[in-house]
Amino acid sequence: MRQILRFFYFLFFVFCNFVFKWKIRSAKAKPRRAICKVYVSSIERENSEMEKIEHTTVATNGINMHVASIGTGPVVLFLPGFPELWYSWRHQLLYLSSLGYRCIAPDLRGYGDTDAPPSPASYTAFHIVGDLVALLDQLCIEQVFLVGHDWGAMIAWYFCWFRPDRIKAVINLSVPFFPRNPTSDLGEGFRASFGDDYYFCRFQEHGEAEEDFACVDTATLMKKFFSIFGPNPPRIPKEVGIRGLPTPDALPSWLSEEDINYYATKFMQTGFTGGLNYYRVSHLNWELTAPWTGLQIKVPAKFIVGDQDLVYNIPGVKEYISSGGFKRDVPCLEDVVVMEGVFHFINQEKADEVSAHIYEFIKKF
């Protein structure tokens, strides 16, 4: 009888021990499930907000321009760079529209769903700024806050040069204002400093880069582009081409496969000639802007850059920004923000911080 009782006591003890451990495991699992639910809901929320962005086509300056827009209020015009689209500003569109601004981000000439004339001569600064002025006229917008990144920043500086009357203030990312050198253009300077393999120089020959890019799957190509623009001069040796550049094993936290697929889909439709033409027209821009030599940018300005950005690490650029040269050429420059450990695609890599910096500046006007 005692042996039977001991046996039942033993079974009871095992059962209680099992229940106790199961409850502990359940308690530990709940926060993980909660975190997972919060993460999924945040993605769903952002996707839902993205659906509120309106997409239209506007006839402007002889081309059809695709425009993404959201919100009402003072207008913020966003200009993307290479190899970017309106989509690069998705976080800022949602952020600033929620704070009472009308946010507009076009695909610039040559990109995405905007027309792409084949000739480089159709991509001068006057063409691109002309597209934007005509766009504002079509939308009955007198003035905007202007925000640019990469080539979009270059175009924004040109815009401020040519038509400061249309700009309330400018916030540029990655690329500071480079005053016109009366003796040589940007491409010549880069070739002298970095050689023929420097990406800017390698993009000059019409059709050559396109042929090279075609040897790589477009999604893989986009992954390469978004990972190579670090502090070191990006070089593409002719003998190995774009295939010789490393492809990251994993995407950075700020970029998803969905993002890559969006870019890849658009560039598969349009090719890269339009975007590359911005590089190919640099000498022509230098020739055409001779009358603006020595002219300052006199629009209220803010500049944001990562300390690992390839442009910031070009020899002489840090000194130009910090020693007063930048302020001399842009006398209304009010603020320079250098983010530590941040690379080139700053508007996506540090989306919230960049959005907040933009808002803190433009709310003063």
Ramachandran region, residue 71 (left: φ > 0; alpha: ψ -120 to 50; beta: rest): left
Pairing of strands 63-70, 102-106: antiparallel
Q: Provide the token pair at 36.
A: 């997972």
**Residues comprising the chain, all counted:** 365
Confirm if 148 and 172 have CB atoms less than 8 A apart. yes
345 phi/psi in degrees, rounded to 5: -85, 60
User: Collapsing DSSP states into helix, strand and coil, what is residue 59?
Assistant: strand
**Count of CB atoms situated within 10 Å of the CB of 178:** 16
**Count of CB atoms situated within 10 Å of the CB of 92:** 24
Tokens 């009782």, located at residue: 5
Confirm if 310 and 344 have CB atoms less than 8 A apart. yes
Tell me which residue of 335, 331, 344 sits closest to 362, measured CA to CA: 335
**Three-state DSSP string of 222-249:** HHHHHHHCCCCCCECCCCCHHHHCCCCC
Active site residues: 150, 279, 344
Helices (H) and strands (E) in the chain, counts: 15, 8
Integer CA distances (angstroms), 218 to 213, 231, 248, 269, in order: 8, 24, 14, 11
Pairing of strands 167-173, 102-106: unpaired
Q: Provide the token pair at 35.
A: 């975190």
Confirm if 175 and 310 have CB atoms less than 8 A apart. no
